[in-house]
Structure 1
Amino acid sequence: MPLKAELHCHIEGAAAPELVISQARKYGKDTAPYIKDGSFVWHDFTSFLAAYDFSSDLFRTEEDYARLADHYLTSLARDGAIYSEVFTSPDHAKKAGLSPKAFLQAVTLDHARRLLDSGMPLLETSFELGMSGPGRLHDLFVTHEAMSPGDYKTRGAGLTIRYGYHISPFGIALIMVTDRGLAGLAFNDPGGERAAFADMSGRWPNAAYVEDMSSTAPYAARIFDPRLWRADQPLRVVMIGTDFQLRVWETLLRIPMGKACTYSSIAASIGAPSASRAVGAAVGANPMSFVVPCHRALGKSGALTGYHWGLTRKRAILGWEAGQVSS
């Protein structure tokens, strides 16, 4: 397959008909005047603009934009494209609740490097979380406990994990909880629910799984609504992993929103300065995306590097957080 590039693409106009139909269902809109037999229809430039505006207005939230970007970039990759020049409308970015500047800064390498150059003292900043005042960092307050090594070795035997799927700003969130707190959070796009469940349940194959959205819904509300983030009512999470993984995940919890850290500095902070690769593997195995902020871990050069649930989603989360910090 020849390698390709796409230039001057307006992201709102890149929405495929099937995505527009899905978004229209979400907002109760009729696509009949604009889509027929799975394709857009127009007969002149005026009707083209009408279809464009109709489609663009269906992307209104961070979740919508994350889904649009992921859908578009996935289709590019499938077609063999290795480069894309993408534009976004400032008006539509505002509808997503982000200033254009905050969104664009969050998805550029320069912004990632500025996070690293800020000189954020990784461990010391953990003591500042939750304090009020002009310099208060906005973040999700978490209290955690770890399963014993014996519990981990049994691969979930004797453990009941309740799970449910919920809409989030970053796609569909698969949330898993035990009677001791949140145990897992994964992301997927529509149609990817089974794969996400297989990924997560495979980590604790001997546990009993019960689909129970009534148990997971309160967690979804707490996690994705900053108005519910309270230091006096922290979110309870239970970590199930090896001793090394737990040390890495606990360190990730100390990285405040709006900051970032390299794998090598995380390795140094846990007393294993030569274990950057192992740290990267532990970050990638994090079962609680967003809550345990593995998206704030960057490569040595400041590159965003990989993300278990997709690099596009990592950019979207950083963009959303930039908006929260600047608001």
Structure 2
Amino acid sequence: MNDFDRVAAAIRFLDRHQAEQPPLGEIAAASGLSESHFHRLFQRWAGVTPKDFLQCLTASHARQRLQASASVLESALESGLSGPGRLHDLMVTLEAASPGEIRTGGRGIRIGWGRMETPFGNGSLGWTPRGICHLVFEEGEPWDSLPARLAREWPSAEFQRDDAEAACRAREIFHAPPPGDPPRGLRAYVRGTPFQVQVWRALLNIPEGRLASYRWVAAAVGNPGACRAVGAACGANPVSYLIPCHRVIRETGVVEGYRWGTDRKRAMLVREMPR
């Protein structure tokens, strides 16, 4: 069991027993840890106490975060959603594959891929010279299924496995640079419909630590009635976490509907909370 597995086990236990308000020791035992080890785990993994972490999982807390994000998101709408996204000190830009590149199946494109460890469990990464094209977690699909997925989408591309490069890129994505280091840039290179790409660009404008509703994203892409289509585009996001579909929730504060598991989405949101 890695750290994330234990965190996810605690979330699932609390969901099943929330009405009973179990003591911390019982939640720790569900994760296979003593209470003291459980406390150290959350301080190390999330930077908060287990009590604070578990309080942040409630729908009422999520609604409060939605309301607190409103002015920031309004400013993003007014600016036209034209800038890159930010993930800690990482500047994230998105490039969409052209119709010609899609039509030729990626002929002439070399795609690297590899398995990686992340703070949210194991996953797989795919990249091209133009940017990261896939980031998937293993709960949604077996790690070795990525080559077949890439081959379906890019049948004429060349593929090469490189786990060491995947691990290096994962560190850039999931870990903030040392204090004083200049901001880094990272690109996502995606294949999608025009509407999907619009939605993914809008997601990049939801700052780390903030939440948006599906309705806000629909308004951001100029189609206020398209909440359901926005949800489908979030579900089709090929570069999870980097394109932050996990920051979109229902207006009720309910956190669900994440392709890579609701436990993972909730853990991501708490870990990204402003301290």
TM class, shorter-length = 0.7 to 0.9
Work out whether 1:225 is the aligned partner of 2:225: no
Instruction: Determine the structure 1 residue equivalent to 2:272.
Output: 321
Q: Distance in 2 between matches of 1:268 and 1:275?
A: 8
Tell me if structure 2 keeps the 8 A contact 1:102–1:319.
no
Aligned length: 251
For 1:306, the equivalent position in structure 2 comes to 257
Distance 1:191 1:239 in 2: 19
Residue 92 of structure 2, aligned match among 134, 142, 165? 142
Q: Which has the higher contact order (CA 8 A, sep 6+)?
A: 2
Aligned-partner Cα distance in 2 for 1:154–1:137: 33
Taking structure 1 as reference, are residues 101 and 303 closer, same or farther at Cα in structure 2, changes over 3 Å only?
same
Equivalent residue, structure 2, for 1:237? 188
Structure 1 residues 193-202 or 291-300, which shifts more?
193-202
CA distance in 2, matches of 1:110, 1:200: 40
CA 1:168–1:115: 2 relative to 1, 3 Å: same
Q: TM-score, normalised by structure 1?
A: 0.66
Shift in Å, 1:250: 0.6
Q: Which amino acid in the other structure matches residue 64 of structure 2?
A: R
Alignment of 1:78-227 (within 5 A): 83-85=16-18, 87-88=27-28, 89=35, 91-92=39-40, 93-99=42-48, 100-118=50-68, 119-122=70-73, 124-125=75-76, 138=88, 140-189=90-139, 192-195=142-145, 198=148, 202-227=152-177
Q: Is the 8 A contact 1:247 1:270 kept in 2?
A: yes
CA contact (8 A) 2:114 2:124 kept: yes
Change (3 A) 1:158 1:137: closer
The runs of 5 or more residues in structure 1 that have no matched partner are 1-22, 24-58, 77-81, 131-135
Report matched runs for 1:1-16 at 5 Å.
none
Q: TM-score normalized by structure 2?
A: 0.78
- Tell me the percent identity: 37
Pair 1:256 & 2:230 matched: no
Separation (CA, whole Å) in 1 of partners of 2:190 and 2:72: 24
Q: Counterparts in 2 of 1:11-26, with a 5 A limit?
A: 23=1
Counterpart of 2:189 in 1: which secondary structure?
strand
Match for 1:94: what amino acid?
Answer: Q
Unaligned runs of 5+ in 2: 29-34
Q: Which has the larger radius of gyration?
A: 1
Residue 218 to residue 138, structure 1, CA distance change in 2 (3 Å): closer
Q: Secondary structure at the match of 1:308?
A: coil
1:65 matched to 2:16: no
- Answer yes or no: is the 8 Å Cα contact 2:46–2:270 preserved in 1: no
Aligned to 1:286: 237
Q: Bigger shift: 139-148 or 160-169?
A: 139-148
Cα 1:202/1:308, change in 2 over 3 Å: farther
Offset at 1:162?
0.9
CA RMSD in angstroms, aligned pairs only: 3.3
Alpha-carbon separation, structure 1, partners of 2:162 and 2:149: 18
Q: Distance in 2 between matches of 1:305 and 1:203?
A: 27
